[in-house]
Structure 1
Amino acid sequence: MISVERGFVVRLPVGELVSYMEDFTRTEEWDPGTVTCVRLDDGPVRTGSRWRNTSRFRGRETELEYRLVTQEPTRLVFVGENKTVTAVDDLRFEETGDGTRLTYRASLTFKGLARLAAPFLRPEFERLADGVSARLPAAAEARRSDGTPSS
């Protein structure tokens, strides 16, 4: 298993940042590996909502189907899966004086023969986590909770 974690402050109130983050289609805005992310069901985002995320990793595209498994006022957990990996994105939110501290932890558990490659892939996942911490605050701050760009 590979786990990477980053913590950073986003200049938004907790509730607004959680609203932004719970719509996983927005990974297109802040995750440097995401190519597309499409919602697979309708209605309000809720526990059990699903998305198809297409990512580019080491020059190849891969698809994972994600579902929201935890939806709390200060925590969101998404689990993505395909035949070679299970990915868990665990997001924790804490109010600070200048916004919200977001602790972002991504864990990947490889299946079958892909497990053998895991130790060699850590540096690439560390770089992706660095990209998330660089892009996510600006992407979230550029949007209001209703999804429209802020002025």
Structure 2
Amino acid sequence: MTTTVERTVRTTASPDAAFAYLVDFRSAPDWDYGTISCERTSGDGGPGTTYANVSKFAGNTVELEYTTEKVEQPEFVIVGRNETTTSRDTITVRPEGEGSVVTYRADFDFSGAVRFLGPVMTPLLNRLGDNTARTLKESLDRL
């Protein structure tokens, strides 16, 4: 079962500036509400680049290894995995007036015993999505 969280924010940042900022996933601690740290472990930022991501979720520390799948403006796709979770994040940046519209979609698939926690996880993931939308907009507006 996939749980999807999707938020759209409008920002004063240009599409080029917003896309470049978000594609460098090391910026995630600035804009992704749950992320504590995110370090590039291999690659140049393009497809195949990997990142070690540490996040806080529901009071727990969660480590995911993310791999960049696609970097073709306006879309960036990165997939995070650990033993119980796969998160496929799709970020789309489109021009709007003087700024941009950024859509952030995360599709979560859970395995093992965690998959039975879906009804509990959904409201927590939605709250995380709301908080991330706020911090994403704040970070992009500072560019």
**TM class by smaller structure:** over 0.9
Q: Give runs of aligned pairs for residues 140-151 of structure 1, distance below 5 A.
A: 140-143=140-143
Aligned to 2:14: 13
Indicate the residue corresponding to 1:138 in structure 2: 138
> Secondary structure of the equivalent of 1:47?
coil
% of aligned pairs identical? 31
For 1:146, the equivalent position in structure 2 comes to none
* Number of residue pairs matched by the alignment: 142
Q: Which amino acid is the alignment partner of residue 124 of structure 1?
A: L
Structure-1 residue corresponding to 2:36? 35
The answer as to 2:53 corresponding to 1:82 is no
Structure 1: gaps spanning 5 or more residues: 144-151
3-state SS, counterpart of residue 32 of structure 1: coil
1:140 Cα offset (Å): 2.2
Q: Which stretches in structure 2 are left out of the alignment for 5+ residues?
A: none
Distance 2:141 2:123 in 1: 28
Aligned position for 1:92: 92
Q: Secondary structure at the match of 1:52?
A: strand
Distance of 2:98 and 2:127 partners within structure 1: 27
CA deviation after TM superposition for structure 1 residue 98, in Å: 3.1
Could you give the per-residue CA deviations for residues 112-132 of structure 1, whole angstroms, max 9, x where no partner exists? 221101121111110111011
TM-score between both structures, scaled by the size of structure 1: 0.90
TM-score by length of 2: 0.95
